């Protein structure tokens, strides 16, 4: 209860500062008032077109995150077990990680033009190196005594993979999802804005084009709310999963 009251107090202070800045600037085209923005927010929440755009952005986020987990974790597990292969792959992984988002944007625009594939690919490439390197770190931190004991007692290989490897990697997998979900929303929105043909990012672009500043701020709030909500729900699910699936 105390945490909730502190959070609400922080939100109220933020809105108060926002109101003061809006009054001092007195330029709604730059900073609209909280009242105007919230009125626009309620209007947009009732608009089925905006809700459809929010859904389009959300499924791109989850698709990119799913691809990162399905491909990044097994790749990290393999590279963590094979040091030679990791040494060969690391320069490529670091190269992908170092490429700026704007370069990926240019590539997908030349390849597909404005499309849904571009934002998903950009988010996937942005998050994949982190998923692989985090998994490699997790593999290298496995309890070797536990693995040796499993070999001595001839524990079934499937059980070793499930209970020791994946069970021990669960905190690292949670960390990957925890970091990736917020970053995925940001990357997808930017990619939709510059190289997409649907979603909230595209709606923000349209609002900027028509100088609808209150709409732009309200759409941003919708994206922030959805990002925080999905992040919270995923954390709750992961917390429950971690309690049920403990290392052997």
25-76 confidence digits (pLDDT tens):
887 778 888 888 889 999 999 999 999 999 999 999 999 999 998 999 889 8
CATH no. for residue 216? Answer: 1.10.3720.10
Q: Are residues 81 and 154 in the same domain?
A: yes
Q: What is the pLDDT of residue 248?
A: 44
Q: What is the mean pLDDT of each run of 10 residues along the chain (248 residues)?
A: 71 85 82 88 92 93 92 88 86 88 84 82 91 86 64 63 68 81 89 87 90 90 89 77 57
In whole angstroms, how far apart are CA 154 and each of 93, 142, 149, 195, 240?
35, 18, 8, 53, 31
Find the domain containing 6 and state its range: 1-31
Q: Are residues 114 and 226 in the same domain?
A: yes
Q: What is the pLDDT of residue 218?
A: 92
Q: What is the pLDDT of residue 158?
A: 65
Do 95 and 88 form a contact (C-beta atoms < 8 A)? no
- Rounded to two decimals, the pTM is 0.83
Q: What is the pLDDT of residue 67?
A: 92
Q: Are residues 44 and 7 in the same domain?
A: no
**What's the CA gap between 129 and 98, in Å, rounded?**
10
For 121, other C-beta atoms within 10 Å of its C-beta total: 20
Q: How far is CA 192 from the centre of its chain?
A: 14
Q: Are residues 192 and 172 in the same domain?
A: yes
In whole angstroms, how far apart are CA 53 and each of 79, 121, 211?
38, 19, 19
Q: Are residues 98 and 62 in the same domain?
A: yes
Q: Which helix (H) or strand (E) element contains residue 223?
A: helix 213-244
Q: What is the pLDDT of residue 73?
A: 87
Instruction: Look up residue 238 and give its two tokens.
Output: 């992961």
**What's the CA gap between 145 and 235, in Å, rounded?**
31
Q: Are residues 23 and 38 in the same domain?
A: no
Q: What is the pLDDT of residue 57?
A: 93
Q: Are residues 123 and 43 in the same domain?
A: yes
């Amino acid at each position: 209860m105390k945490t909730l009251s502190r959070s609400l107090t922080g939100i109220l202070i933020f809105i108060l500062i926002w109101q003061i800045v809006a009054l001092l600037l007195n330029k709604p085209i730059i900073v609209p008032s909280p009242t105007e923005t919230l009125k626009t927010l309620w209007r947009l929440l009732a608009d089925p077109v905006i809700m459809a755009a929010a859904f389009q952005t959300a499924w791109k986020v989850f698709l990119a995150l799913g691809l990162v987990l399905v491909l990044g974790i097994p790749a990290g597990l393999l590279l963590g077990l094979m040091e030679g292969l990791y040494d060969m792959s690391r320069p490529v992984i670091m190269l992908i990680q170092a490429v700026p988002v704007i370069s990926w944007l240019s590539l997908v625009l030349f390849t597909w033009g404005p499309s849904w594939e571009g934002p998903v690919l950009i988010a996937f490439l942005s998050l994949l190196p982190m998923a692989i390197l985090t998994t490699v770190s997790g593999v290298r931190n496995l309890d070797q005594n536990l693995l040796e004991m499993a070999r001595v007692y001839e524990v079934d290989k499937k059980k070793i993979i499930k209970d020791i490897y994946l069970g021990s990697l669960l905190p690292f997998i949670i960390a990957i999802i925890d970091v990736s979900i917020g970053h995925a929303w940001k990357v997808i929105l930017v990619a939709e804005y510059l190289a997409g043909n649907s979603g909230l990012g595209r709606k923000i672009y349209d609002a900027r084009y028509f100088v609808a500043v209150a709409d732009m701020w309200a759409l941003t709030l919708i994206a922030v709310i959805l990002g925080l909500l999905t992040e919270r729900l995923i954390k709750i699910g992961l917390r429950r999963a971690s309690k049920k699936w403990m290392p052997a």
